[in-house]
A and B are shown apart, each in its own frame.
Chain A
Amino acid sequence: MTGQFAYPSDREEASAKKVAALEALLIEKGVITPQTVDKVLAYFETEMTPLNGKKIVVKAWTDPEFAEKVVADTPAAIAELDFPEGMAGAEGEHLKAVANKPGVHNLVICTLCSCFPWPVLGLPPYWYKDPVFRARAAREPRKVLAEVGLELPEDTEIKVWDSSGHSRWFVIPERPAGTEDFTEEQLMELVTTESMIGVALAGAPS
């Protein structure tokens, strides 16, 4: 995928100049303030981050009742946890969790664009937005997963969720074996954005 970024060197410089000019003009004209963009970015660094998703997954691993509820009624289950207000905010108005279990693996995609559950996972990484991934994961998910290092048993059912409506989907991965004695902090380290979208297992080397 790296070839995707091999463009003439002034391509990026031109875009950087253009967006800087646009932002400066919007500030001068009173559309936004000199701090608006920085405040938006800070919000994604502090509040809408994958840390929220990791907490939800670890809670599901350690509390069977929560594990059931987070799939049955995701917003209500998340509302019970100790998060600041905002878990039902932009791109999280209708969160929907699906849980992996022995013999069932879930994969979330968005073939039309890049719908992503911002409050629990933050912003989508580039691979999720990559047209090649979006195109192929719909048709040949098993092959795509194997290419990125996730070889599933032949009899494991793959459920692919194309985010074409109002829900923003994420995956509760399975808790890795041998982690019975792990602390919550140790468990959280096993959970990645990739595992919460379904292109990796929790605990897989990243």
Chain B
Amino acid sequence: MKLQHYLGGLEGLPEIESLEKRVFVQDWEKRIFGIHVAMMGLSNHLGSALPAYPIDEVPTTFKDEWTWADLRTGAEAMNPFDYFKYRYYEKWLGGITQFFLDKGYVTEEELAAKMAESEPVDAEVKTEIDDQVIAYLRYGDDPRRDVAHPKFAVGSTVRIANRPAGSHSRLPGYLRGRTGTVEHIFEGDYAYFVQTGDGIGDPMPIYIVAFDPVEIWGPQAEDGPETLYAELFEAYLEPTEENA
């Protein structure tokens, strides 16, 4: 069990006293958010994305792949007890800084020196870089691929796979081993940014699976009519004995 994947259903947590409606609670959080979006918009995989961006022509020195999967892999690979010590954008700042250090874009010494001074940076504005980042926001990175050949039909009962967790997963932990009903099959296959090691990456069908809370939580399920739906890649589904 990897705690980050098992957040759903975790017990013993406090009441929610109020909703913090701000998107950023500190100004610095905006800067790391902007850097992350820029990295996604300049990622070298976008040349073969849908739509295909002319990424090789963009005059940035960024030459690596950076997607949600990279950000999440970093966060989900953390020691879970550290993970929960940090606020949302603190984890981003740590993961993104480490990426630039690991890949050699910056060094610890340069960072330390910059933190000691605060002179404004003067550099040429290459608008093609900014235009590419905004184009990514406007046109996205569509994971949909070919026509799907789904293994399961709407209405069929499926069991959720319980494979060893990689660093990163798109399978909510609380669903592992549970039984649900296929509610909907999306048209097309869907790729994932990376091979997660737990079955997803190559294009495959995605299903909406409906779960009865009693199946998931047993006698602790809330009273009253409720249904929980998750969107699950086909690799996370197994036939039950009845339809094997």
Measured in the bound complex, the distance between the Cα atoms of B122 and A145 in whole Å is: 50
Please count how many residues in chain B sit with their CB below 8 Å of the partner chain's CB atoms.
97
A69 interface residue, CB < 8 Å from B?
no
Contact A139 B9 (CB under 8 A): yes
- Chain A 127-145 interface 0/1 with B at a Cβ cutoff of 8 Å (1 = within): 1011111111011111110
A93 interface residue, CB < 8 Å from B?
yes
Contact A160 B228 (CB under 8 A): yes
Measured in the bound complex, the distance between the Cα atoms of B16 and A200 in whole Å is: 14
Q: Looking at the complex, which one of A2, A19, A34 makes contact with B121 (CB distance below 8 Å)?
A: A34
B111 interface residue, CB < 8 Å from A?
yes
In the complex, the chain B residue whose C-beta lies closest to that of A39 is: B130
A155 interface residue, CB < 8 Å from B?
yes
B244 interface residue, CB < 8 Å from A?
no
Please count how many residues in chain A sit with their CB below 8 Å of the partner chain's CB atoms.
91
- How many whole Å from B126's CB to the nearest CB in chain A? 6
Q: Looking at the complex, which one of B20, B97, B233 makes contact with A127 (CB distance below 8 Å)?
A: B20
- How many whole Å from A19's CB to the nearest CB in chain B? 5
Contact B222 A90 (CB under 8 A): no
Contact A147 B25 (CB under 8 A): no
Contact A139 B60 (CB under 8 A): no
B148 interface residue, CB < 8 Å from A?
no
- Chain A 24-38 interface 0/1 with B at a Cβ cutoff of 8 Å (1 = within): 111111111111111
What are the 3 closest A-B residue pairs judged by CB atoms, nearest first?
A: A165-B231, A37-B34, A111-B8
Instruction: Report B's interface with A, CB cutoff 8 A.
Output: 4-5, 7-11, 13-23, 25-28, 30-35, 37-38, 40, 42, 59-62, 68, 72, 75, 84, 87-88, 90, 93, 96-97, 100, 105-106, 110-111, 114-115, 118, 121-127, 129-130, 133-134, 136-144, 169-172, 174, 186, 190, 206, 213, 217, 220, 222-233
- How many whole Å from A121's CB to the nearest CB in chain B? 10
Q: Contacts A48-B137, A92-B140: A126 and B16 contacting too (C-beta < 8 A)?
A: no
Contact B38 A37 (CB under 8 A): yes
Give every chain A residue within 8 A of B30 (Cβ-Cβ).
37, 41
Q: Looking at the complex, which one of A23, A35, A143, A160 makes contact with B31 (CB distance below 8 Å)?
A: A23
Instruction: Report A's interface with B, CB cutoff 8 A.
Output: 1-2, 4-5, 12, 15-41, 43, 47-48, 85-86, 88-94, 109, 111-114, 118, 122-127, 129-136, 138-144, 147-148, 154-167, 193-194, 199, 206
- How many whole Å from B84's CB to the nearest CB in chain A? 6
- How many whole Å from B23's CB to the nearest CB in chain A? 4
Contact B38 A40 (CB under 8 A): yes
